[in-house]
Amino acid sequence: MPRVAYEEAVDIICGALGPLGDEYIDLSRAGLTSERWVDIYPNQGKTNGAYSGGGYDTPPYILMNYDGSLVAMSTLAHELGHSMHTLYSCRNQPPIYANYSIFVAEVASNFNQALMRDHLLRTSQDRDFRIGLLEEALSNFHRYLFLMPILSQFEHHAHQMAEQGRPLGADAMSAYLAERFRAGYGPAVTVHTERDGLQWAQFPHLYENYYVFQYASGIAAATALAAQVIAEGEPAAARFRQFLAAGASRYPLDALYLTGVDMTSPAPMDAAFAVLDGYVTQLEELLG
């Protein structure tokens, strides 16, 4: 599997973000390097995973456990998207409007990944690198467009059970989630109730009501925005920067609508699945 050193990943990400303009790139590069936003590498006693945080009067901070994999590079681009969203929002909004919603947060992060993938698939001719990149993309799209919507159905069912006074037992919840997996994946995938049905237990997101569906809406909106920026250049990039700067000063659907993305329409989701289909086709061609 191809490996990418952290310094090279910074160069790749900043190169991919070129359409967003010099200010965005300069802020991104400084944050990833000299401004030390990122706790980069795994360490003894350090929590795992990745996360972007920060306060209104502080720089953004990024928790990473960078291991040189393509997944880690994509995760770094994702978390940088969150951090740049926070930076633009806090610089342009008063505190009351700086803390944007999850619905738009997952747009900014996935947007960075979309630009990075497009850039690398257009510029890299290395077969193994392209295969690794497509595998990372497919894994990410699977998580956001399949796993998270199925978890969202499970979550809604659990709330309905609670409202009806029905017990939320582990066996019943696992059986329902396994049923949703079977409906979502079809007969080609074998689902084990005891193992696959228990996946609800590994997602703390479910303690934040109706969080997980926003991963699917986020990647759909991000894919649509990235396509605009790639096709139009600066006019679309300017709309995206305005979207970041809006923070919570507009309702999420309104903020996205001003960028040209209508999330009340099925078009963004259809376009995201079309991109996924394109990734599958490219991988099949590479694998022969």
Instruction: Using DSSP bridges, classify how beta strands 51-53 and 61-63 pair: parallel, antiparallel or unpaired.
Output: antiparallel
Q: Which residues have C-beta within 8 Å of that of residue 248, sequence separation ≥ 6?
A: 89, 93, 96, 97, 98, 99, 100, 101
Q: Which of 79, 106, 136, 155 is catalytic?
A: 79
To the query of whether residue 79 is one of the catalytic residues in this protein, the response is yes
Of the candidates 96, 23, 98, which has an alpha carbon nearest to the alpha carbon of residue 60? 98
Burial class (CB in 10 A: 0-12, 13-18, 19+), 94: exposed
Known catalytic residues?
79
